[in-house]
Amino acid sequence: MSLMAILYHLVPESPVLVAYNHDAKSGTSVHVPSIHSGKPRVLAGIDPTTSGTHLGINQNGLVVGWVTRRRTTEPINTQSRAALCRQLLKSTSARRAMTAAMDALSTGHYQGVDFVIADAESGWQVHGGDEPECTELVDGLTIVSSHDFEDPNKDRVAMAHRLLTLQNLDSPIKFLAVASKVFARGPSIPGRPSMVVRKQDYNTISSTLIALGKKPRDAIYQFAAGSPDVAKFEDYSPMLRDILSRGIREARSKANV
């Protein structure tokens, strides 16, 4: 399933703010984020089986994440959605990644998927159901789960939206503080929605918080290697700041040439 919240263009000093709970089958390994070489460099947790990822960010400040969704028709010659996510992270901008996602999903080779693709310049939701669709992100809060975009009838999405709008999220620190608590909300009363999934065969296995500032030194990346109601968030911000600084240096070098 998985659950992703993106606060887009609402906080001036941090145009892209993300919270992401990765849900997977029991026994699925947790892949800790690390820097991966290539052009551009990427910070993400990589699955060695697919060489793909569920969420990553590249040196150009492009964030790509995805959640599963249902589709009524079976894909042809199924290809990995995680591998496609990593491929999209090779793009130089969100707009180009969006176009690449639409082209790939139009082949019919992928199971149901919803991509969120964003940088400081543009943001997109790419819906890979029976027919691929694309919607530009609105300024403000968007919640994406394994159902229709912003479906108000889905309890988990509705709870996430309500809890994230109880306070004025007017700074990256405020967003991260609130989101870390909201996305760590575990099961309580049976049948009641929760942010953390804990079932016999399906669980929340990790959680990620990202804040992209206008300057690399303001970027924040926190990761919990386990269910966030149990595991602590560890700071990977130095890695993110490193690749973003590299991106700026390379862009300046190209401009000078």
* pTM for this model (two decimals): 0.94
Q: Are the beta carbons of 198 and 204 closer than 8 angstroms?
A: yes
Average pLDDT, the chain: 92
List C-alpha distances in Å: 9 to 120, 154, 175, 190, 231: 8, 25, 13, 36, 30
| Residue range 199-243, pLDDT digits in tens | 888 899 999 999 999 899 999 999 999 999 999 999 999 999 999
* Domain 3-256 class in CATH: alpha beta
Beta strands in 185-249 (DSSP E): 202-212, 220-224, 233-235
| Cβ neighbour number for residue 79 with a 10 Å cutoff | 17
pLDDT at residue 150 in the model? 46
pLDDT band at residue 70 under the 50/70/90 scheme: confident
Please return the burial class of 133, using the count of CB atoms within 10 Å of its CB with bins 0-12, 13-18 and 19+. Answer: middle
pLDDT (tens digit per residue) in 18-29: 999 999 998 899
Q: How far apart are CA 43 and CA 240, in angstroms?
A: 7
Residue 161 has pLDDT above 70, yes or no: yes
DSSP letter at 167? S
Residue boundaries of the structural domains of the chain: 3-256
